[in-house]
């Protein structure tokens, strides 16, 4: 038992959730995602689970910038889009296959590294608000460029491509049951693609968890709290901020590549839109800034509400049909209103996010026990 606990601590980089309820919630989310194809049958449920996986990685990579380094950037979706377009362009030009996917991923990573380095090196020397405006301008310019280069990116229509044969929806591998006459279990390309996403996101999330709990991550947090003090202690804040920007961009690039493999389509609206950037900001605030577990909980709450709130309102509207005011308020057409209200309530009652609030309670109990 002790050996298992020690192994878990090492796997989580000695950064456990910090509250029993938080640990249970994270465990339930991970278990639900691990067995989603069997627990929640249907194309929509599997697509929601896949989107949730991608957003966990995307938001966690952004939290490295915002929550741990204190950098407000609006260019995160640009690197997300570079990863997706890299895989799509390589697959359409070189043909389907793992070689094309790897070429696209490596090319996207190189472009993301170069752009994030240049933006970080030249923009992180200015004040926070000016840096945010610079990144917003760069992201908008990149989105416009992707929309206009029709011969290269497909323009507004985007690119549709084929995955490697193993990940193709037409691929089927029948596992015959041991008893004679029993039906076999079919593993198709969609299931394999989902578990590729699951294990890739799990591995990359653990790497991010290791980064933020390393000496490098401690320096980033020191810069977030007081960059002048960190500079006075001998740390080159521009170097650390630039490295944080580059690492965050590479993880966002990986998230974009995973989304492209799942959708087998890439367009400006799926990866580069400003709405996605707003979604990322909302998820970080809901889950809790400066907490990797906040990306898991915040993404789960937001993605589920975004996809199923309208369905719940349909049920409520049917139950309240004929009631003068309530039937109008719970109309499915007003789901964005209720989503906004839920966000306002979450910020009001959880100003430091769900994870921050629960961890603060744990610290308060520990301080009370010491007294």
Mean pLDDT across the chain, nearest whole number?
Answer: 85
In this prediction, residue 325 carries a pLDDT of: 67
pLDDT at 40: 86
CB within 8 A of 266, min separation 6: which ones? 81, 84, 85, 87, 88, 154, 158, 159, 161, 260
Per-residue pLDDT of the chain (371 residues; tens, 9 = 90+): 667 667 777 777 777 777 788 889 999 999 999 999 988 888 889 999 999 999 999 999 999 999 998 888 898 999 999 999 999 999 998 888 899 999 999 999 999 999 999 887 776 666 667 788 888 888 888 888 888 888 888 888 889 999 988 888 877 776 655 554 455 567 788 899 999 999 999 999 999 999 999 999 999 999 888 888 888 888 888 889 889 999 999 999 999 999 999 999 999 888 998 889 989 998 998 998 888 999 999 999 999 988 888 888 778 777 777 667 676 777 777 777 878 888 888 878 888 888 888 888 777 776 665 45
What pLDDT is stored for residue 126 in this prediction?
A: 67
Sign of CA dihedral 256, 261, 262, 263: positive
How far apart CA 66 and CA 73 sit, in angstroms, is 8
Nearest to 109 by CA among 140, 87, 132: 87
Q: Does pTM surpass 0.85?
A: yes
Q: Give the model confidence (pLDDT) of 142-159 as tens digits.
A: 888 888 888 888 888 889
Distance in angstroms (rounded) separating the CA atoms of residues 60 and 65 = 9
In residues, how long is the chain?
Answer: 371
Q: What CA–CA distance (Å, rounded) separates 21 from 354?
A: 11
* Neighbouring C-alpha atoms within 13 Å toward the C-beta of 77: 24
Residue 62: predicted pLDDT:
95
Q: Which domains does the chain have, with CATH numbers?
A: 19-370 (1.10.3470)
């Amino acid at each position: 038992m002790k050996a298992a606990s020690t192994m878990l601590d090492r796997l989580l980089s000695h950064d456990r959730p910090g509250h029993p309820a938080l640990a249970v919630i994270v465990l339930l989310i991970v278990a639900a995602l691990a067995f989603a194809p069997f627990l929640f049958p249907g194309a929509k449920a599997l697509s929601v689970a896949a989107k949730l996986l991608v957003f966990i990685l995307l938001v966690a990579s952004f939290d490295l910038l915002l929550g741990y380094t204190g950098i407000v950037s609006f260019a995160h979706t640009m690197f997300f889009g570079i990863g997706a377009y890299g895989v799509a362009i390589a697959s359409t030009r070189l043909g389907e296959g793992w070689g094309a996917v790897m070429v696209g991923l490596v090319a996207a990573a190189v472009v993301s590294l170069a752009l994030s380095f240049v933006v970080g090196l030249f923009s992180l020397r200015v004040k926070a608000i000016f840096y945010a405006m610079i990144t917003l301008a760069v992201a908008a310019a990149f989105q416009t460029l992707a929309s206009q280069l029709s011969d290269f990116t497909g323009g507004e229509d985007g690119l549709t491509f084929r995955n490697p044969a193993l990940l193709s929806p037409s691929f089927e591998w029948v596992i015959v049951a041991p008893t004679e006459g029993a039906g076999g279990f079919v593993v198709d390309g969609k299931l394999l693609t989902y578990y590729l996403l699951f294990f890739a996101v799990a591995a990359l999330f653990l790497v991010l968890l290791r980064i933020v709990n390393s000496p490098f991550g401690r320096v980033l947090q020191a810069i977030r709290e007081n960059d002048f003090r960190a500079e006075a202690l001998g740390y080159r804040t521009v170097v650390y901020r630039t490295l944080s920007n580059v690492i965050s961009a590479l993880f966002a690039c990986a998230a974009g590549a995973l989304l492209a493999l799942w959708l087998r389509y890439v367009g400006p609206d799926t990866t580069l839109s400003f709405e996605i950037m707003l979604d990322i900001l909302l998820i970080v605030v809901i889950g809790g800034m400066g907490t990797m577990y906040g990306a898991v909980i915040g993404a789960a709450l937001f993605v589920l509400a975004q996809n199923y709130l309208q369905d719940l309102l349909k049920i409520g509207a049917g139950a309240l049909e004929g009631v003068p005011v309530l039937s109008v308020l719970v109309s499915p057409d007003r789901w964005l209103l209720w989503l906004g209200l839920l966000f306002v309530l979450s910020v009001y009652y959880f100003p430091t996010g769900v994870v921050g609030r629960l961890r603060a309670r744990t610290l308060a109990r520990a301080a009370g026990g010491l007294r």
